[in-house]
C-alpha cells in the first residue's frame, strides 16, 4: 500500500476563526498541476501563507503589485502531511478541484480571499 502522507511536511490546521468573506482583485487560475496568481492590485504581498480549500497551505515569498506567480499544487500540504491531489498523467486518484484560495499574512491575521477562476476539468 502506498503511503499518501509525509508527517515531516505536516502543517497547522486551517484557522477557521480567521476566515473572512471579503476578497481582493487577485485572480487564481488552475493550469493542470499548477496555480497562477495574477495580482491586479496596487499592493504587493510578501512572506505569506497561501491556503487552498481551507486545508492545504504553503509559504510564498512574494507576489508583487501587478505581478504574477506560478506555484505547483504538489507543494501544498495539509496538517497531516498529505499533499494536494493535483492530478497528472500518472495519477492514481481523481484530482481535487481548487475552490477557495486565501492569503494569510501572519499567524493571527485574517484571511484575504482571492478570486478563484474555476477550470472546466482538472487534468
Closest CA to 33 of 93, 75, 81, 92: 75
CA distance 41 to 38: 9
123 pLDDT exceeds 60? Answer: no
DSSP, collapsed to helix, strand or coil, labels residue 101 as: strand
How many CA atoms lie less than 13 Å away from 76 in the CB half-sphere?
25
What is the pLDDT at residue 1? 38
Contacts of 42 by beta carbon, 8 Å cutoff, 6+ apart: 65, 66
Query: What's the pLDDT band for 120 if we cut at 50, 70, 90?
Result: low
DSSP state of 65: T
CATH architecture of 7-117: Sandwich (2.60)
The per-residue pLDDT for range 87-115, each reduced to its tens digit, is 766 656 778 999 999 999 999 999 999 99
The tens digit of pLDDT for each residue in 14-55 reads 999 999 988 999 999 999 899 999 999 999 999 999 999 999
pTM to 2 decimal places: 0.87
d(CA 94, CA 11): 23
- What is the rounded CA–CA span in Å between residue 63 and residue 46? 6
Looking at the DSSP assignment, which residues form a beta bridge with residue 71? 35
Q: Where are the domains of the chain?
A: 7-117
Amino acid at each position: 500500500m502506498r503511503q499518501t502522507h509525509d508527517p515531516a511536511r505536516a502543517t497547522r490546521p486551517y484557522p477557521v476563526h480567521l476566515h473572512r468573506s471579503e476578497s481582493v482583485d487577485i485572480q487564481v487560475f488552475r493550469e493542470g498541476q499548477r496555480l497562477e496568481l495574477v495580482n491586479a492590485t496596487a499592493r504587493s504581498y510578501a512572506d505569506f501563507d497561501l491556503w487552498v480549500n481551507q486545508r492545504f497551505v504553503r509559504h510564498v515569498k512574494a507576489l508583487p503589485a501587478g505581478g504574477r506567480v506560478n506555484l505547483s499544487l504538489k507543494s501544498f500540504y495539509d496538517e497531516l502531511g498529505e499533499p494536494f491531489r493535483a492530478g497528472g498523467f500518472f495519477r492514481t486518484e481523481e484530482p481535487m478541484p481548487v475552490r477557495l484560495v486565501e492569503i494569510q499574512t501572519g499567524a493571527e491575521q485574517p484571511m484575504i480571499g482571492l478570486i478563484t477562476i474555476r477550470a472546466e476539468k482538472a487534468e
